A and B are shown apart, each in its own frame.
Chain A
Amino acid sequence: MIRQLMRDPLLRISFLVACLIAMVSLSAIAPAASGQGALDAIAENLIDIDYDFGRWPYPLYAEVTARLQELAAEHPNIATLHSIGKTAAGRDLWLMEVTNTETGPGDNKPGLWIDGNLHAHESNGRVRAMYMIERLLATYGRDEVVTRILDSRVFYIVPMFDADGGERSLTRHPAWPGHQPSQHLGSDLNGDGFVTSMRVKDPEGMWYASPKDDRLMLRLRARDEGRWNYVPTVYDETKFFRSSGPQVVGATTVGPQARWMPTGEDPPQIDYLAPPENRYSIYTEGSSPLHRRDDFNLTVDGFERNVGFDPPPSDFNRDWSAEWRPDEPGGGAFPFSLPETRAAAKFIAAHQNIFFQYNMHADQTARNYTARPGMHHPYDWMDPEDNEFYNRIGAVWSALGGGNIIENNYYSQEIAAGAYTDIQHGCEVDWAYIGRGIHSLMPEGMAVGKDYDGDRYVTMLEILRWNDEEKNGQFWIPWEASEDPTLGQVEIGGLRGMPPALDERMRVEGDLHYKFLVYLADLSPMLSVADLQTEPVGDDEYRVVATLQNTGYLATYVSRKALEIRRDVPILAELQLEGAEVVGSRSLLNAGHILGRHSYIWRWGAGADESTKVVEWRIRRTGDGPISVTVAAKAPQAGRDSRSITLGARPDDD
């Protein structure tokens, strides 16, 4: 696979740079406690488990619930199931807390929030989240790295964020036994049991058929100059896309507008592909002609949710308050108007130990990519120290996935194509960083199919081939002539219930996220009381000096943003005494923050040295017996540690 990657000059350079950065990054975070290199942890040595990635449709709410309850019962010391609220339909919103409670409650350890299936139709997020839980639980005690991570960190995993929408999306899917075709915008005109798509020849149409496979419809796009041009899009069979979004033309699935990202090569000259006589308009099968699909359409089950305030419903990933706008599509009535996002925000705000938020989407990409915070800002909007952190984890992400992408909306390919649209406000990833000061990523999932040529992209043609060779053509049917009562002669065909991800692609993806999340968990700040000394300073009085250290990668403030918005929680050091009392100060002291390796390296270049912090007290003996001195230090996002020392009894005057 590496050899195949090296064939592409651009990818080769990107990959080598990514590996170099990743190695530097990883070498900086080798956990001192275990001596196990984190590179090994994420790349090679994590124990795998058997898991059925070929199952489709994915499990429904009841089955996932039962499995979560079963896992919690089987692993009482490391898995605790919580209901953190109710969905709009009254379902429990499940959160699995995974940590070794014998080493302390989860609240006392650095935490990661992970959610899946936030968008109803992006249901592979629930599979990835469940796989994460299953693999952590199954390998705890056998896998050295996982054991160390769960002894010292906590994962808060919500597999089904939009449990109501996910249920509706899956049970409406054509693959679901006994499903009824969605009548939302169309009807089953040809009586085959599915609502798919219709295409009609139209000189003014926005679509044309791929000359390589007539089933595949490609879209024309308008340029700023006002003239029509034909830009390859996500729907193209070429490799000139980082596909974001949708299955092509399906009745129950759709995605954002087509995008195009140049890869350094000239775009293909394909004007000849779509002269007016070859153009089509596309409609949902049996729909009103008003529903011509010129653009984004509304047939996504995930966006059908109506929580009762006012239609149209809110988008679960536009309901978070950071940079929320009333004119944002799906923005809803007001931030956190949805019970699910509100429950999540409440939980996260109440758990100050959470330092990372990870929300797993499934935008059906040709390869994995992940969005980073600051969706509408250039990278230099972010504090350089924080930006550097994203550069580093982005490099690891890229190395793990063989060239995967990390970016924000501002730097999406739309910028490169000159078509940036200021959308996607109120996203979870921005709320975590801007509103809470914790780091966050929003990975998108891969589409189905198979990487037949091994170039790490699965093109639409490869999806078609996979559909034909391995799935008996069930998900993508050819166009067949039919009669529409309004439009007359039409052709019906296209996508028919294509699953989000399946089989080997799903396995690769699940494995990738698992490794990446274990790696991210390892980056938390980690507090320790490195040293504790006393010295006499007079009759019956002593000076107590504790050296606090952050052995983690991130600083105890986690992000510079947290300092800016004053959401950081500093270290508290408490002196606990027996046989003595504190003199001249409080026993509980605010020790401020300690840099982690990341920020230490960053600032070391500027001559800073803040890798440890010394806390000092003066104590006075209150009796004749020995003195017990304990210093306990804690910071929610950096964990807890303590160290004790005993001073001898008062010497006999004789």
Chain B
Amino acid sequence: MGYVWRPRPNNPARWEMKDRERHWTGRREQPDYNRQWAEEWNAADPGAGDYPFSLPEFYAVAKAVTDRRNIYFFYDVHSANVGREFMIRGLSNAPYQAMHHEDNDWHVRLAAAWSVISPGDFTLDDYYTPDGTGATIGGLPPDWAYLHQGIFGFGGELGGSGIDYDGNGEVLPDELERWHQEEMGGRYAQPWQPYEHPVLGSIEIGGPHVSSQGQFPPAIGSLMSDRTDKSFEFLMYVAGLAPEVSLVEVTSEPASQGTHRVLATVRNDGWISTYVTRRALEIGGATTQAGPGAALNIRRREFPVVVEIQIEGGELVSGASSQEIGHLLGKLAHIRQWADGGEEVPSKTVEWRVRPTGPGPVTVRVRASAHKAGSDQETLTLRAQR
């Protein structure tokens, strides 16, 4: 609505939304729900709307996402109605190397997983579209998630309808038409019929029904079932990559003056680091710099691991009961940094000294948590020293 379509300059066989219809009737254009996100929002983009998040739906989503610190992955499903499925990744307006290499690694691995789950399907960003029109899109959700929120974002584009009769992983136009005729009884399009138009003269009217937006249904039947299965499998795979704080062990040993030395080793068992993206660190990093930001602070995008201890029958002699221990690398980052000769370790140990306050046993409960990495806890009973 409100768009003008015209052939692409470098590929006249394809059409593009080039210019909004001039709102000469005074009507404001309808925003495109996929151009409303703030990152690189461009007032000149068709469908940009009045301003970022001007639609109540998207304001609500943005608020929900920012209110929930545990969200590490943002996924929105589209329906491009193409012959096969594909995934949209960031960055839409910059080459891959503009992203930190650790974050790019993650995207590459995820793309590989998607290609395995849905054989041969690809992942791309707008910057590397096959057409290479040079046109960029602002206000896309994967970019917003990554660049503004510091979490990973993907957009899934569902394939169109039809049946992959030859099993090559792609539904070509002739297969679509065969499916349409054989399975759907030709209900979604009309054959071309001659007609006398009052202005244009002799024409033919036909093709896909306007009521279906000029398209067949996005996907139905067995193809939809197959694609839904793959999307489900992919999202389950992504869910399995989450950072996961784990208390590897909680131990104690006698120390001087009847105290106990309590040690808790915390590890990230997840694939992703507890900071999730390097971008999150980059945004939060400004808080450590001198200047106005240092004191005014900047909204945090990364939330470090916190280790806490609760004691029954004893008291803390040394070590804070709640300690922020920074971040723990995930497997992906650890492998990458290990290869680079990095020294960061995937686990950290926290230490306390505890003194019994009575003759009974001392029970310590240690809990490790991070907003995007869950929590784990262990309970340990300390033996009284003779």
Q: In the docked arrangement, what's the CA distance between A333 and B68, Å?
A: 11
**Contact with B50, one of A257, A329, A346 (Cβ below 8 angstroms):** A346
Residues of chain A within 8 A (CB-CB) of B204 are none
Whether A349 touches B51, Cβ cut-off 8 Å, given contacts A331-B299, A567-B43, A590-B24, is: yes
- Do B67 and A349 have beta carbons less than 8 Å apart? no
- Do A257 and B291 have beta carbons less than 8 Å apart? yes
**Contact with A564, one of B44, B52, B290, B296 (Cβ below 8 angstroms):** B44
Residues of chain A within 8 A (CB-CB) of B63 are 309, 333, 337
Q: In the docked arrangement, what's the CA distance between A293 and B150, Å?
A: 31
- Restricting to B125-171, which residues have a CB under 8 Å from any CB of A? 144, 147-150
Q: Which B-chain residue is minimally distant from A333 (CB atoms)? A: B66
Q: In the docked arrangement, what's the CA distance between A337 and B301, Å?
A: 16
**Contact with B51, one of A321, A327, A352, A636 (Cβ below 8 angstroms):** A321
Residue pairs across A and B with CB atoms within 8 Å: the count is 139
- Do A296 and B296 have beta carbons less than 8 Å apart? yes
Q: In the docked arrangement, what's the CA distance between A169 and B292, Å?
A: 21
Q: In the docked arrangement, what's the CA distance between A218 and B59, Å?
A: 45
- Do B54 and A310 have beta carbons less than 8 Å apart? no
**Size range of the chain A interface in the assembly:** 35 or more
- Do A327 and B52 have beta carbons less than 8 Å apart? no
Q: Mark B30-46, 1 if CB is under 8 A from A, else 0.
A: 00000000100111100
- Do A332 and B299 have beta carbons less than 8 Å apart? yes
B53 within 8 A of A: yes
- Do A312 and B50 have beta carbons less than 8 Å apart? no
Residues of chain B within 8 A (CB-CB) of A570 are 22, 24
- Do A330 and B296 have beta carbons less than 8 Å apart? yes
Q: In the docked arrangement, what's the CA distance between A297 and B296, Å?
A: 7
Residues of chain B within 8 A (CB-CB) of A326 are 147-150, 283, 298-299, 301
Whether A329 touches B292, Cβ cut-off 8 Å, given contacts A336-B59, A349-B51, is: yes
**Contact with B43, one of A311, A315, A437 (Cβ below 8 angstroms):** A437
Residues of chain A within 8 A (CB-CB) of B283 are 326-327
A566 within 8 A of B: yes
Q: Which A-chain residue is minimally distant from B29 (CB atoms)? A: A566
Residues of chain B within 8 A (CB-CB) of A336 are 51-54, 59
Q: Which B-chain residue is minimally distant from A568 (CB atoms)? A: B22
CB distance from A123 to the nearest CB of B (A): 20
- Do B52 and A335 have beta carbons less than 8 Å apart? yes
- Restricting to A317-343, which residues have a CB under 8 Å from any CB of B? 321, 324, 326-337, 342
Q: In the docked arrangement, what's the CA distance between A327 and B301, Å?
A: 10
Q: In the docked arrangement, what's the CA distance between A333 and B296, Å?
A: 14
A517 within 8 A of B: no
A454 within 8 A of B: no
Binding site for A on B (CB under 8 A): 19-20, 22-26, 28, 38, 41-44, 50-54, 59, 62-63, 66-67, 69, 144, 147-150, 282-286, 290-301
In addition to A336-B54, A345-B50, 6 A-B residue pairs with Cβ atoms within 8 Å of each other are A295-B292, A295-B295, A326-B147, A327-B282, A329-B292, A565-B43
Ordered by A's residue number, 28 sampled pairs between the chains whose C-beta atoms are within 8 Å are: A256-B292, A295-B292, A295-B294, A296-B292, A296-B294, A298-B295, A298-B297, A309-B63, A310-B66, A311-B297, A321-B41, A326-B147, A326-B148, A326-B299, A327-B284, A327-B285, A327-B298, A332-B299, A333-B63, A333-B299, A334-B144, A334-B148, A335-B51, A335-B53, A336-B52, A337-B63, A346-B50, A352-B26
Binding site for B on A (CB under 8 A): 256-257, 295-298, 303, 308-312, 315, 321, 324, 326-337, 342, 345-346, 349-350, 352, 421, 423, 431, 434-437, 564-567, 569-570, 572, 588, 590, 636
The 9 closest A-B pairs by CB, nearest first: A349-B50, A329-B296, A565-B43, A333-B66, A590-B24, A329-B293, A565-B44, A312-B297, A327-B286
